[in-house]
């Protein structure tokens, strides 16, 4: 299998069924290093399911997914390798409520990467600095606002020093006044050259940093292109309709 060395994620004809429901109907996508991809579409269109197949939180039943040269299969070691290279940020934050912010961030580097506690904590503090909340290190997640929790989640994912970051609707569970602080952290990350796949409806974010956008509907990619193409001259009726709905309100 020959592959462009610049391609970090290669997805070919991926299908997924939940029982009889055909959730993903043949997804093809190639992502280059340092690219920022925005995936959008109506709810139930399969966009979250798709992004979760990339680190195997969901299993695909047909097709091929290659992440950083490793093919996702039933081989547990491959799955673990890929999960070490991909960070994920969830809609519901999913911080560990029984651990402090610092422990949330350092747990995996210490246990999986086998770093010393000291090194892990140093890097954790740098990351908290980067997302703007170094003073919250010793609090528990329950003591933070939603925006702060999501920024901790970003720092936690980054602490594993992943090559790819996956964002699954990172701002959908936030109060409006907290969306900006999370988006700012994500924009900064995008500009630093991280490869990112972002499921979001924040079109301002897409316009600012996305290299390409993919519109999902009913388990398929309906349309893809640069933000300019998508916003100014969408080809498909469904894309136009959806954009008019989310941009008009």
Partner 1 sequence: MTAMKPTLPPLTERSNVLRWLRRNLFGSWMDALLTILGALIVYWVVKGFLTWALVTADWRVVAANMRLLMIGQYPIAQAYRLWIGLAFLMFLSGNSLGIWARQSRFGPVLLLAPALLALLPFGAEPRKWLIILTVTGLAGWGLGLLRPEVLKRSVIAGWVISLPIFILLTRGFSESASGFMPAVQTNLWGGLLLTFLLTVVGILFSFPIGVLLALGRRSELPVIRLASVGYIELVRGVPLITILFMAQLMLPLFLPPNVTIDRVLRAMVGITLFSAAYLAENVRGGLQAIPKGQFEAAHALGLNGAQTMIFIILPQALRLIIPILVGQFIAVFKDTALVAIVGLLDLVGIARTVLAQPEFLGRQREVYAFISLIYWLLSYGMSYLSQQLEERLGVGKR
Q: Which residues bind partner 1 (CB under 8 A)?
A: 55, 57, 80, 83-84, 86-88, 90, 92, 94-98, 107-108, 111-112, 139-140, 142-143, 156-157, 160
Task: For 216, list phi and psi in degrees, rounded to 5.
Answer: -100, 140
Nearer to partner 1, 57 or 243 (CB): 57
Strand ranges for 93-219 from DSSP E: 164-168, 195-199, 212-217
Nearer to partner 1, 84 or 243 (CB): 84
State the pairing for strand pair 36-40/212-217: parallel
- Closest separation in Å from C-beta 219 to partner 1: 21
Q: How far is CA 139 from CA 34, 101, 131, 148, 165, in A?
A: 33, 6, 16, 11, 25
Residue closer to partner 1 by CB (options 87, 234) is 87
Nearest distance from residue 122's CB to partner 1, in Å?
19
Q: Cβ of residue 237: shortest distance to partner 1, in angstroms? A: 35
Closest separation between CB of residue 108 and partner 1, Å? 4
Q: How far is the CB of 222 from partner 1 (least distance, A)?
A: 27
Q: Which C-beta is closer to partner 1: that of 77 or that of 249?
A: 77
Rounded to whole angstroms, the Cα distance separating 203 from 218 reads 20
* Residue closer to partner 1 (CB basis): 111 or 244: 111
Nearer to partner 1, 60 or 212 (CB): 60
C-alpha to C-alpha distances, 91 to 99, 167, 171, 174, nearest whole angstrom? 19, 8, 7, 9
Could you tell me the smallest distance in angstroms from the CB atom of residue 139 to partner 1?
A: 8
Find all residues with CB under 8 Å of 80, minimum gap 6, and list them: none
Q: For residue 124, what are the CA distances in angstroms to 14, 97, 199, 201? A: 36, 17, 25, 29
């Amino acid at each position: 299998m020959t592959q462009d060395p610049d391609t970090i994620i290669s997805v070919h004809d991926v299908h997924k069924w939940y029982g009889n429901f055909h959730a993903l109907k043949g997804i093809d996508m190639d992502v280059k290093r340092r690219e920022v991809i925005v995936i959008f579409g109506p709810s139930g269109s399969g966009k979250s399911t798709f992004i979760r197949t990339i680190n195997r939180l969901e299993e695909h039943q047909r097709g091929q997914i290659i992440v950083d040269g490793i093919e996702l299969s039933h081989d547990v070691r491959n799955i673990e390798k890929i999960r070490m290279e991909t960070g994920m940020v969830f809609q519901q934050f999913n911080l560990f409520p029984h651990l402090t912010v610092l422990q949330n961030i350092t747990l995996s580097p210490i246990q999986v990467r086998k770093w010393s506690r000291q090194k892990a904590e140093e890097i954790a503090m740098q990351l908290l600095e980067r997302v703007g909340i170094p003073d919250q290190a010793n609090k528990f997640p329950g003591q933070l606002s939603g925006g702060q929790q999501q920024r901790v989640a970003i720092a936690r994912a980054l602490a594993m020093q992943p090559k790819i970051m996956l964002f699954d609707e990172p701002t959908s569970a936030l109060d409006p006044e907290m969306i900006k602080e999370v988006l700012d952290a994500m924009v900064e990350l995008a500009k630093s050259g991280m490869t990112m796949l972002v499921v979001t409806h924040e079109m301002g974010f897409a316009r600012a940093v996305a290299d390409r956008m993919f519109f999902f509907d009913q388990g398929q990619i309906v349309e893809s292109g640069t933000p300019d193409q998508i916003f100014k001259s969408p080809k498909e009726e469904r894309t136009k309709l959806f954009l008019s709905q989310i941009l008009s309100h």
